Structure 1
């Protein structure tokens, strides 16, 4: 009997040990400076790319190539998120929820319908929220670091205004595909020739009918690689100078390149062309009061403070300009009573411009959360502005900024990647 009991206990212990054996749920795939990229993150991104490709009936390269591209994107994300932490850039839950609600509205669906649509595709809403948060944070990090690298002279603006006038009101827009065969920061002659030969082979594959998007995913070192190299629509004044010179006179379907730059060898494809008509531009005259949450002032109290201001303004018990001068933390407009002057709504952060779009003349918004804090907005007036000289200058400046931002953004990411400590732990 004693032997039987001992045998039973031994079997139970074996079963318990088997059940208690740790199960590997995740593991570190890449070490990036002080951060890591997890295996689950790589797999999630690969799955997302595959899902999007299936919806668009797009061919993809092998899983090995997809994994390599996913790792590169996640390395850059990790570096930007680490920089965001050092810079103190955060996105609060209320701000995130507001952005996601806005994304749902843009698609003409409710938040509940968005959650259902994600679930039907096997996407967790919590994971989706965190991905949007990451995109918002990395976008702000990129803007903050790249802006300081951009300088636009009055002569550049005047030159572009003249060019736009010569081109007339109708300008061609190009839908560009882009493949970058990258070079290291200080390439040797052998490396340059090797990558030049590789670029030539890519051109040969494309000329023989290979799918551009598939080749971009497989071969491109550009930031849009996992999007099939799709750079979207732009006119020649918005694209990098190197590309602008290359695409002029080309037609839809044309392949261009390889074009050498400091980054490597570029291959372009004009996916489509369309005419661009100049139209009247809406401008708004608005003012606001900005309250920034802090350690002392909670997010909720900042919102309540503006709700109290709004109630007093509607009741005629307070003056907007006085409140702005006393309380607004936007130093640029506070001294002017919160007045932001006449401008195009798109220059404001998305949350601010969306709130403006819902207001009638003289109306006050509900408190609006953005990356800067809580805003109380009053729309003073709207107008449609024709192509005045000032407007042309603003448009020229915006085009130049977009062009230089794209160029400097790629350079900044490349420099940050070159300077980082990266160790691939598992393949």
Structure 2
């Protein structure tokens, strides 16, 4: 019962995550390794942070530290098994998830400057640290999907799940809206691309002549906030984890050699290979992104204005148009609609990005805006049209209005049981060592 409640409250998102508060409270924790799972470790600080995070959610019922530690060990075990089973995620997937998380944090804290102030570190350093955690979380999620790929819930199971929740524990939802957008990135002209290529080529010549170091130019000019502060160094990556064009170029280089400019979906890179170790390699790069001209932006506006006309005429639905034409990869798969943690297209107005909130605050339900300026989470200038589909007043959770969210929570609870059974079998196949101070938790028993 307790797991059902925690799963529902967490997935419905009714109480709001305050992980940043938990991290602040845990800054002074003394660290040590409390569990080893093959080559992966769980730190005491991870346990304390995860436990404080659960407390900050205000979840109904108590969750013990042993339960939290079991979940940590389970995640490390999934990482170890994913490595054995060759389950990976790409750099592009990590970047998209990082953008989504940063977008949420910016909305919660009020801007990147506030994030820097709160964590007392540059945003580039914060993103670099967050990127590693995002990769692990995505691999764990993919492993969970692999374990539970054939799991589903029937309407009867959803009703039984909902009926197990005491009436006085049902979440209360604030105003919720269904909002979507279609994003168009201006097509950067050949002239702008050539300009960036030439800038990188000039930098390459300066490095080769000994005038300046690669690291110094990366710190000054690279537009990759995750690596610029480190002189462009990316650390070791496996094959298939970075953009294909980047990887192909880096692996053709000899250690110390510097490439000509190479284009990927992120912009133009100048790459220097540092070292190769078997199937992994370490490199540094300078990333520069061509900017759009005013003419490019105006062309994107005309494109979206025409698409808006077609949508309003009924010749194509907003969702279909978003899937086919939107260039926002985060929302494209959901038909342009923003979704919450459970995958529901109904999101609380409290969780909406302020810039989007101010747009819909002046709109009538059912309307689509004319093309308006938009800046993507990675800083690109773009244009978008916003569709305000529906609005639901504050209410207590019920099957009629909230079936999709309750179904997602019921499915998650069922998947949780299956993953728990998987864990019981998998612990026999992987080396696990638990700190004596936590042996009483019987994690592997």
TM-score clears 0.5:
no
**Rg larger in 1 or in 2?**
1
